[in-house]
Amino acid sequence: MKTKLTVTLLALMWAYCATWGQDAYCPPRLARQMQARALIKIRARNTLKHPRINAHRGSQAFGPENSLPAFIAAGKTGAWAIETDFRMTKDGVVVCHHDAKLDRTTTGTGYIKDYTLEELRKFRIKEVNCVPIPNKAYRYGDFSAEELRIPTMDEYFEICKQYGCVPFIELKEDGGVIREMMKAIKRHGLEGSCIISAIPLDLLVATRQQGCMEMIHHIFSTPDKHFDTLLSLGNVSVSLAVKQQDLDKPVPAKFDYKGYHPKDYKDAIRMCHKLGFRACFRAADSPEAVRQALKLGADCMPANYMWVARMKEK
């Protein structure tokens, strides 16, 4: 009973906080229930039985990065979260695309900001992944032209909702993206269920300044440079600035905080937890890497081509 009451109170708090800096709006009862479920999903424990795999740019074993097939595959294979990047078109539509330019990943050239959405529709995503995929489970030629167009923010949110995945958004720029993202989160009834990430800390500061109370996630974070600012923002998760292959090495001085030096990376995660932060490493693309992250106490595992179904088989 106490647990149910706590979840209900938290959901109501999220519903109230989500209106800060936005048009006055009270989510319907269904939206409040969704928020309560989302809080449970975001804050659930990370375990081998239920690993919190964050599908980086979708499940790239099943489709090109940031494509509809990759997003849908992440949902179907049981990913905890689906990560994508937001960019804005010339006519103010937010789309899912990592690079500022089209050249690397699509049949187009030039900057996304110089095209309208209708103009972008004529381009197709190429057979491109951000890392080599050793266990590729798709044939590029099997995808239709419609499946290979650049997804919009709304399409991405609908896929996350359909499969019950946490939307894990990386901001690459502002220029109106944060404002449109906040409107879409409310429109889709996803208040309190998203995680907003960025490498530049000023984008996360801007997110808070514009009234967004979703969990924020700082990528490549180090305690000595970033933790004081993050503490002031609240509701924080971090991706610690260490490579997977270095997790057995001594912890460098950049992880010192307020005179405390973590003795190892498990202790660094413990320090984050004491500060109220969620924490992870990048990235876990094998069962062994997932087990290592779990052993160290990580709260989730970003992965490019790892997927939950395969993890459970091991």
Residues carrying an active site annotation: 56, 98
Q: 48, 53, 77, 65: which is closest to 106 by C-alpha?
A: 65
Q: 11, 6, 76: which is closest to 38 by C-alpha?
A: 11
Ramachandran angles phi, psi of 26, nearest 5°: -115, 115
Sign, CA torsion 257/291/197/61: positive
Q: For residues 253 and 65, what is the distance between their CA atoms, to the nearest angstrom?
A: 35
Q: For residues 71 and 60, what is the distance between their CA atoms, to the nearest angstrom?
A: 9
Q: CB of 219 within 8 A of CB of 192? A: no
* 3-class secondary structure, 96: strand
* 3-class secondary structure, 87: strand
